[in-house]
Amino acid sequence: MATEVKVPVLGESITEATLGEWLKQPGDPVKQDEPIASLETDKVSVEVPSPVAGVMGQQAVKVGDTVLVGAMIATIDAGDGKAAPAAASAPAATAGQQAPAASSDTPAALSPSVRRAVLETGVDPSTLKGTGKDGRLTKDDVLSAASAPAAAPAPSETPAVAPSVAAATSRTEERVRMTRLRQTIAKRLKDAQNTAAMLTTFNDVDMTAVIEARAKYKDLFEKKHGVRLGFMGFFAKAACMALKDIPSVNASIDGDEIVYHDYADISVAVSGPGGLVVPVIRDADKMTVAQIEKTIGDFGKRAKDGTLKMEEMKGGTFTISNGGVFGSLMSTPIINPPQSAVLGLHRIEDRAVVVDGQIVIRPMMYLALSYDHRLIDGREAVTFLVALKNAIEDPTRILIDL
């Protein structure tokens, strides 16, 4: 007897999703509550668990199909997987031929982000060993292989044949449908540009004091709190202090009204398999640096695993985006509506600066604040960045709330 697997409830106001990846193939043994498929919604990826133990049966939809909440997408048959029930639905192999087995490196088994990485790098997925769940290839596997030095070709005893002109000039293209998450990101960012009177102001900050504090206490911090001491904890805490001083940066526009918040829910942009996602640190203004670091670390891990919950992405009064981890020197980040401002952090690099009349080398970072000029004046934006700069350059201010 087969048990139907249906699309689970995905969250408030979400009625459909896209099938992003099959995690189990027909004939595979399946445990109860083991994920068999991954769904892509407007905000996050959601894994669909098996309601019973048995054998993966029919796959009712294909990768890329849109499915509604409550729709049947697969069946789980009784058994333990030894009999390979999928053979009945597959065409019989002719004499001397064997039907190819599904593997984690076939194009059909690769997730959209991995397929895109394969296309961009030209790496042959069949030559790689996956480090993901059940040995599946991940995007990092492909990028690591692409960045590895190529092995020297073995000497040939026969003279090489010159490639034909047609082969040398051959070019191919492939169209890949945008994921639902990427479509939503594109729409929201364009809507933000069309709606807000967006402007960006810059400043720079000397990271010497924070770097010294981190180097002095990072081992004790990790031993006590079980998480590494990074820079985001300092910036999130300093931003919360600056938001209290300049409440308009933490406000939003609702129709013809301005909504001021007496709390700071900080959205932090973290990288996931399908792009950037923005989970929210609730009541960050009431947290310690250690609590903020623990929360961000948990968000980053679960973003890579695709296990962030949709309710964790809702709300937020202010966003911090750290492009510096990817090497960005300077950028103009886009507001995350209905928020009115976003802080962009960038890479730290040694630069010559003047201190007390002397030219010295200091680790400097550019800060960028994009804001909605309909609500936030230039004076307020600059004052916010200066307050943030002062707190980072003198971290004692964070401790005494100055």
- Lookup: tokens for 163: 């490639």
Any residues with CB less than 8 A from the CB of 44 and at least 6 apart, and which? 181, 272, 277, 306, 308, 309, 310, 313
Please tell me the total number of residues recorded for the chain in this structure.
402
Count of CB atoms situated within 10 Å of the CB of 54 = 22
Residue 359 near residue 374 (C-beta atoms within 8 A): no
Angle between helices 208-225 and 378-393 (to 10 degrees): 70
Instruction: State the average pLDDT over residues 237-255.
Output: 95
Q: Which domains does the chain have, with CATH numbers?
A: 3-81+102-137 (2.40.50.100), 199-400 (3.30.559.10)
Strands, E, within 293-385: which ranges? Answer: 318-322, 341-345, 349-355, 358-372
- Whether 35 has a pLDDT exceeding 50, the answer reads yes
* Cα–Cα distances in angstroms (integers) from residue 51 to residues 9, 54, 85, in the given order: 14, 10, 19
373 is catalytic: yes
How would you class 356 by CB atoms within 10 Å of its CB: exposed for 0-12, middle for 13-18, buried for 19 or more? exposed
Residue 325 scores a pLDDT above 70: yes
pTM: 0.64
The active-site residue out of 33, 134, 377, 394 is 377
Kindly give, in sequence order, each residue whose CB lies less than 8 Å from that of residue 20, ignoring residues fewer than 6 positions away: 37, 38, 39, 40, 45, 63, 111, 112, 179, 274
Would residue 285 show up in a list of annotated catalytic residues for this protein? no
- Structure confidence at residue 1 (pLDDT): 73
pLDDT digits (tens, 9 = 90+) for 374-400: 999 999 999 999 999 999 999 988 887
Residue 162 banded pLDDT, cuts 50, 70, 90? low
